[in-house]
Structure 1
Amino acid sequence: MNEEHEEHSEQSAAPQGEPEAQPSQDVPDTPAQAESPAEPEAESEAESEAQPESEPEPRKTGESEPRQQDPPEKTDPSAPATAATPSEQVHHNSVNQYFYGELNASGAQFGIGTAGSDNARRRAVGRLDAGEADAILAPYVKPACFERAALALEQDGVVVLVGPPGTGKRSGAVALVDALADGSEYVVLSPGRSLDDLASGRVAFEKGVGYVLLDRMSDDTSQTADFDWRRVRDTVREHDARLVVTTVHPVDGGVVESVRHVSWELPDLTAVLRVRLVREGCARDTVEGAVSRMPDGCRIAEVAAAAERIARGAAPDEVWRDYGSGAAQPVRDWFAEDRTPQEWAEVTTLAFVNGAGYRDFETCQERLENWVQPAFAAPVTEEEQAAAARRAVNRRQSLSHNDLVAVEQRKNGALTRTALVFPHPQYRQWALEELWTRLSTPYWNGVRDWLTELVGAQPGLGLQLSVAQGLALLTRPAFDEVADNYLHPWAGGAAGPAGQSTATLVLQCMCLDESLAATALGVARGWARSYDPVLRSTAAAAFSGALGVRFPTDAVTILLKMIVRRGGLPVDAAFALAGLVAVLAECGQDTGAVFRPLAYRLRAQRETLTGQYKENLLGATLTVLRARDARTGRLVCASLLERDVRRTATIGELWAGVLDNLPRRGRALAALNATLRELPAVSERPEQVAERFGEAVGEALPPDDGPPLAAALRQVAARADEQTTAVVEIFLTAVLSTKG
Structure 2
Amino acid sequence: MNEEQSERTAQDTLEPTTQPSAPDEAEPRTPEPTQDPKRPDDSEEPAKNTENDKKEEKEPPTTPAQVHHNNVNQYFYGALDASGSLFGIGTADSGNGARRRAVGRLDAGEADALLAPYVRPACFEEAARALDEDGVVVLVGPPGTGKRSGAVALVDAVATGSDHVVLSPGRSLDDLAGGRVAFEKGVGYVLLDRMNEETSATADFDWRRVRDTVREHGAYLVVTTVHPVGAQVESVRHVPWRLPDLAAVLRVRLRRAACAGDTVERAVALMPSGCTVTEVAAAAERIARGADPAEVWREYGSSAAQPVREWFAEERSPQEWVQVTTLAFVTGAGYREFETWQEQLAERVTPVFPEPPTPEQAALEAQRVVDIRLSLSRNALVAVQERKHGALTRTALVFPQPQYRQWVLEELWAKRSTPYWDGVRDWLTRLVAGRPGLGLQLSVAQGLALLALPAFDEVVESYLHPWAAGRAGPAGQSTATLVLQCMCLDESLAATALGVARGWARSSDPMLRSTATSAFSGALGVRFPTDAVHTLLRLILRRDGRPVEAAYALAGLVAVLAECDQDTGAVFRPLAYQMRAQRETRTGPHKETVLDTVLTVLRARDARTGRLVCTGLLERDARLSERIGALWAGVLENRPRRGLALRGLYAALRDLPVVTARPQPVAERFGRAVGAALAPDERLRLTAPLRQVAAHPDEATAELIEIFMTAVLSTED
Q: Is the 8 A contact 2:81 2:95 kept in 1?
A: yes
Query: 2:46 aligns to what?
Result: 77
What's 2:346 paired with?
Answer: 369
CA offset digits 1:350-384 (Å, max 9, x no partner) = 00000111111111111111121221235687777
Structure 1 residue 565 corresponds to structure 2 residue 542 = yes
Cross-structure match for 2:144: 166
**Counterpart in the other structure of 2:199:** 221
Deviation of residue 78 (structure 1)? Answer: 6.4
Partner of 1:460: 437
Find the residue that maps to 2:8 and give its secondary structure. helix
What whole-Å deviation, never above 9, does each CA across 1:175-198 have from its counterpart, x for those lacking one?
Answer: 100010001110000000001110
Cα contact 2:30–2:537 (8 A) shared by 1: no
Q: Residues 447 and 470 from structure 1, CA distance in 2 versus in 1: closer, same or farther, beyond 3 angstroms? A: same
Q: Distance in 1 between matches of 2:302 and 2:31?
A: 52
Residue type of the alignment partner of 2:308: V
Say whether residues 1:417 and 2:394 are aligned partners. Answer: yes
Per-residue CA deviations over 1:96-136 (Å, capped at 9, x if unaligned) read 11111111466763224522221110000000010110111
**Superimposed CA distance per residue, residues 164-219 of structure 1 (whole angstroms, 9 cap, x where no aligned partner):** 00001001100100010001110000000001110111100000000000000122
User: Are positions 1:307 and 2:284 aligned together?
Assistant: yes
Please give the alpha-carbon distance, in whole angstroms, between the structure 1 residues aligned to 2:228 and 2:655. Answer: 54
* Distance in 2 of aligned mates of 1:193 and 1:350: 38
Find 1:531's aligned residue among 502, 508, 518. Answer: 508
2:650 is paired with a residue whose SS is helix
Q: Is the 8 A contact 1:652 1:700 kept in 2?
A: yes
Instruction: Tell me the distance in 1 between the aligned counterparts of 2:318 and 2:419.
Output: 13
Measure, in 1, the Cα distance between the counterparts of 2:232 and 2:567: 41
Structure 2 residue ranges without an equivalent (≥5): 17-24, 49-56
Match of 1:431 in 2: 408
Identify the residue that residue 237 of structure 1 maps to in structure 2. 215
Q: Secondary structure at the match of 1:477?
A: coil
Are positions 1:250 and 2:228 aligned together?
Answer: yes
Greater displacement, 568-577 / 429-438: 568-577
- Which runs of structure 2 are paired with 1:591-740 in the superposition (5 Å)? 591-739=568-716
Which residue in 2 is equivalent to 1:180?
A: 158
Q: Which moved more, 1:494-503 or 1:702-711?
A: 702-711
Distance (whole Å) between structure 2 residues aligned to residue 501 and residue 634 of structure 1:
25
Computed over aligned residues only, the root mean square deviation of the Cα atoms, in angstroms, reads 2.5
Aligned counterpart in structure 2 of residue 542 of structure 1, from 519, 523, 526: 519
What is aligned with 1:450?
427
Q: Which sits farther off after the overlay, 376-385 or 277-286?
A: 376-385
TM-score normalised by structure 1 residue count: 0.90
**Quick one: which amino acid aligns to residue 12 of structure 2?**
A
Q: Quote the sequence identity (%).
A: 72
**Inter-CA distance 118–159: structure 2 relative to 1 (3 Å threshold):** same
Secondary structure, in 3 states, of the residue corresponding to 2:86?
coil
Q: Return the alpha-carbon distance in structure 1 between the equivalents of residues 117 and 129 of structure 2.
A: 22
Alignment CA distance shift 1:572-1:384 (3 Å): farther
The 10-residue stretch of structure 1 (394-403 or 114-123) with the greater mean CA deviation from structure 2: 114-123
Tell me: CA distance 1:71–1:724, structure 2 relative to 1, closer, same or farther (3 Å).
closer
1:206-257 CA distance string (max 9 Å, x none):
0000000000012242311111101100000000000000000112x55211
TM-score (norm 2): 0.93
Residue 399 of structure 2 is aligned to residue 401 of structure 1 = no
- Tell me: CA distance 1:649–1:377, structure 2 relative to 1, closer, same or farther (3 Å): same
Shift of 1:414: 2.0
- Kept after mapping to 1: 8 A contact 2:145/2:277: yes
- CA distance in 2 between counterparts of 1:10 and 1:83 reads 34
Decide which of 14, 25, 29 is 1:53's aligned counterpart. 29
Is the 2:30–2:541 Cα contact (8 Å) retained in structure 1? no
Corresponding residue number in structure 2 for 1:127? 105
1:283 is matched with 260
| Matched-pair contact (CA < 8 Å) for 1:78–1:720 | no
1:95 and 1:505 in contact (8 A); partners too? yes
CA distance in 1, matches of 2:276, 2:388: 34
Structure 1 alignment gaps of length 5 or more: 19-48, 57-64
CA distance in 1, matches of 2:475, 2:140: 38
Instruction: Work out whether residues 27 and 530 of structure 2, in 8 Å CA contact, stay in contact via their aligned partners in 1.
Output: no
Contact 2:27/2:570 (8 A) holds in 1: no
In the TM superposition, what whole-angstrom CA distance separates every residue of 1:45-89 from its partner, at most 9, and x where no partner exists? xxxx97722589xxxxxxxx99xxx98888932699999632211
1:329-348 pair list within 5 angstroms: 329-348=306-325
- The reply on whether 1:522 has 2:496 as its aligned counterpart is no
CA contact (8 A) 1:540 1:573 kept: yes
* Offset, 1:420: 0.6
Query: Which digits, 9 at most, give the CA deviation of each residue in 1:19-39, with x for residues without a partner?
Result: xxxxxxxxxxxxxxxxxxxxx
Distance, in Å, in 2 between the alignment partners of 1:83 and 1:469 is 34
Amino acid at match of 2:386: Q
Q: Which runs of 4+ in 1 moved over 4 A?
A: 70-75, 78-84, 104-108, 378-393
Letter in 1 for 2:467: W
Report the 3-state secondary structure (helix = DSSP H, G, I; strand = E; otherwise coil) of the residue aligned with 1:494.
Answer: coil
Any conservation in 2 of the 1:659–1:669 contact (CA below 8 Å)?
Answer: yes
Residue type of the alignment partner of 2:103: V
Q: Give the residue type in structure 1 aligned to 2:651.
A: A
What residue number does 1:41 align with? Answer: none
Task: State whether structure 2 residue 250 is matched by structure 1 residue 273.
Answer: yes
Alignment counterpart, residue 15 of structure 1, candidates 10, 13, 16: 13
Matched pairs, number: 696
CA distance in 1, matches of 2:457, 2:562: 34
> Contact (CA 8 Å) 1:351, 1:432: kept in 2 or not?
yes
1:50–1:192 contact (8 Å) kept in structure 2 = no
Q: Is the 8 A contact 2:148 2:224 kept in 1?
A: yes
Instruction: Work out the CA distance in 2 between the residues paired with 1:168 and 1:108.
Output: 20
Give the superposition deviation at 1:386.
Answer: 6.7
Stretch moving more, 706-715 or 443-452: 706-715
Q: Shift of the alpha carbon at 1:565?
A: 2.3
> Quick one: distance in 2 between partners of 1:313 and 1:136?
22
User: Given the alignment of the two structures, is residue 205 of structure 1 paired with residue 183 of structure 2, yes or no?
Assistant: yes
Letter in 2 for 1:347: V
Contact 2:15–2:29 (CA<8 Å) still a contact in 1?
Answer: no
Shift of 1:545: 0.4
Write the letter of the residue equivalent to 1:9.
E
CA distance in 2, matches of 1:148, 1:17: 40
Q: Say yes or no: does 1:352 pair with 2:350.
A: no
Question: Which residue identity lines up with residue 225 of structure 1 in the other structure?
Answer: A
Moved more, 516-525 or 623-632: 623-632
- C-alpha distance in 2, partners of 1:477/1:187? 31
Kept after mapping to 1: 8 A contact 2:42/2:651: no
User: Residue 116 of structure 1 corresponds to which residue in structure 2?
Assistant: 94
In 1: Cα distance, 2:267 partner to 2:113 partner: 22
Q: Is the 8 A contact 1:628 1:635 kept in 2?
A: yes
Secondary structure of the residue aligned to 2:453 is: helix
Q: Which residue of 2 aligns with 1:24?
A: none
Say if 2:250 and 2:281, in contact at 8 Å, map to a contact too. yes
Deviation at 1:550, TM superposition (A): 0.1
SS in 2 for 1:622: helix
Q: Which amino acid aligns with 1:396?
A: R
Cα distance in structure 1, aligned partners of 2:549 and 2:359? 58
CA distance in structure 2 between the aligned counterparts of 1:55 and 1:107, rounded to whole angstroms: 35
Which one of the candidate residues 145, 153, 174 is aligned to 2:123?
A: 145
1:345 alignment partner, SS class: helix
- Shift of the 528–285 alpha-carbon distance from structure 1 to 2, 3 Å rule, reads same
Task: Give 3-state SS (helix, strand or coil) of 1:476's partner.
Answer: coil
Q: Secondary structure at the match of 2:563?
A: helix
- Which of 190, 203, 228 is the equivalent residue of 2:168? 190
Deviation at 1:313, TM superposition (A): 1.4
Sort the Cα spacing of 1:384 and 1:309 in 2 relative to 1 into closer, same or farther, 3 A. Answer: same
Cα distance in 2 between the residues matched to 1:692 and 1:142: 49
